[in-house]
Structure 1
Amino acid sequence: MERFFYDTHLDFYKNYLILELNSHFIIAMTDVKPKKGKLLIAEPALTGDVSFNRSVVLLAEHNDEGSVGFILNKPLEYSINDLINEISIPFQVYNGGPVEQDNLYFIHRVPDLIANSIEISDGIYWGGDFEKIIDLINQKTICENDIRFFLGYSGWSSLQLDQELSSKSWIVVKNDYESDIINKSADAFWKEKMLELGGNYLLWSNSPENPSLN
């Protein structure tokens, strides 16, 4: 039976295109440092970027070798049962980022049910026994609020994310949702973060994705 290719853990990092910035926007400054479990909020200056426009990224790893994250608010038109024939329930699949988009990744909050998981932080895990996940979903032991699937991931080589933070591509914030972020609705997620940041970001919270349409 044909099987969609998936990885349970990442052990490599790849570059993606460094983003151009709009230097005229006043940037918010936070004292939160990049660390696995933190959130990256795309600056409004990234408007028009195909991969990261208005994205909210969960950092799954950040060390001297590079960084890995998953975009949380870019749902795809696919369900997991479209990709994995053995799964009968249509859990949503998300665009995790521009790297390895033919690979399937997942985060979850049920490590007691999924062996070989790696903790990110705050009760959020990634990877694990995928065959077990298939059984758990089909048996309805876990629900869509427990796990989130992604095609692809967001990857930065060594120091690349630090450089993009220095050039004000991203704002780093704490994950106040903890493990509940797994079932956080993608709708208006970026807008909510703009409202929380306040100041000039309030203007962007209601702006169209393509400012030329305004």
Structure 2
Amino acid sequence: MIKPGPGTLLIAEPFLKDPNFMRTVVFLCDHQDEGSFGFVLNRAYEHTLNELMNNLDELKLPVFYGGPVQMDTIHFLHQYPTLIPGSFQVLDGIYWGGDFETAINLIRDGSIDVAKIRFFIGYSGWGSGQLNDELKENSWLTAEATKKLVFHRNTDEIWKDALKHLGGDYEMMANFPIDPQLN
């Protein structure tokens, strides 16, 4: 296990029952004493970008449920720091935020690959010490993120692939039933 920090994946342990995070993978963008935040990578939201925002009719892009905090905000991760000003580097090759209008215009004119940008509604947040407590309770497994996992083409496979990324005994966990009592 690695210590949490920017660019860390939080992989929900197989039996975590919290409905917000069951079988999720969260990409941490920041982790400090005051708190932490990131985005759930593998839970598609029921609406597309054009359904959530005005004047984006042609942009029927998927939006992901970033987490239960501030569900009235849109965030994005991308791989275009030189094209989207105001971006923050989270990990080598993975950036958070930046100028939203510029990002939209770059998508519209075909300058960026939509597979290298991902939109989120809301975010996952933890107050001071909260995430560390959850890690001590073994609610999360940690791994270093990769572009392949963050921008995975098949979001339904991210949780399993993240466990496989850890290797060893964790690979077997990918096949555990949600409720072992039903097995």
How high is the TM-score relative to the length of structure 1? 0.77
Structure 1 position 164 matched with structure 2 position 110: no
> What 5-or-longer segments of structure 1 have no aligned partner?
1-29
Aligned to 1:95: 65
Q: Which one-letter code corresponds to 1:86 in the other structure? A: N
Task: Answer yes or no: is the 8 Å Cα contact 1:70–1:97 preserved in 2.
Answer: yes
Structure 1 residues 200 and 183, CA gap change in structure 2 (3 angstroms): closer
Structure 1 residues 45 and 180, CA gap change in structure 2 (3 angstroms): closer
Greater shift, 192-201 or 100-109, is seen at 192-201
Aligned to 1:59: 28
Q: Which one-letter code corresponds to 2:41 in the other structure? A: L
Task: Answer yes or no: is the 8 Å Cα contact 2:27–2:150 preserved in 1.
Answer: no
Q: Deviations over 1:143-172 (max 9, x none)?
A: 221210001111011111111111111111
Q: Which one-letter code corresponds to 2:112 in the other structure? A: I
Structure 1 position 187 matched with structure 2 position 153: no
Alpha-carbon distance in structure 2 between the residues aligned to 1:199 and 1:109: 32
Structure 1 position 34 matched with structure 2 position 4: yes
Alpha-carbon distance in structure 2 between the residues aligned to 1:208 and 1:36: 30
Does the residue aligned with 2:133 lie in a helix, a strand or coil?
helix
Structure 1 residues 136 and 164, CA gap change in structure 2 (3 angstroms): same
Q: Percent identity?
A: 44
Task: Answer yes or no: is the 8 Å Cα contact 1:146–1:182 preserved in 2.
Answer: no
Does the residue aligned with 1:62 lie in a helix, a strand or coil?
strand
Larger Rg: 1
Structure 1 residues 182 and 192, CA gap change in structure 2 (3 angstroms): closer
More strand by share: 2
| Count of matched residue pairs | 180
CA-CA distance at 1:74 after TM superposition: 0.5
Structure 1 position 107 matched with structure 2 position 107: no
Task: Answer yes or no: is the 8 Å Cα contact 2:149–2:158 preserved in 1.
Answer: no
Alpha-carbon distance in structure 2 between the residues aligned to 1:83 and 1:49: 26
State the Cα RMSD in Å: 1.8
Aligned to 1:78: 47
Greater shift, 159-168 or 136-145, is seen at 136-145
Task: Answer yes or no: is the 8 Å Cα contact 1:147–1:182 preserved in 2.
Answer: no
CA-CA distance at 1:126 after TM superposition: 0.9
Q: Deviations over 1:177-198 (max 9, x none)?
A: 2x34442131221122334444
CA-CA distance at 1:121 after TM superposition: 1.1
Structure 1 residues 172 and 64, CA gap change in structure 2 (3 angstroms): same
Task: Answer yes or no: is the 8 Å Cα contact 1:136–1:142 preserved in 2.
Answer: yes
Q: Deviations over 1:23-46 (max 9, x none)?
A: xxxxxxx2x111101111111230
Aligned to 2:18: 49
More helix by share: 2
How high is the TM-score relative to the length of structure 2? 0.89
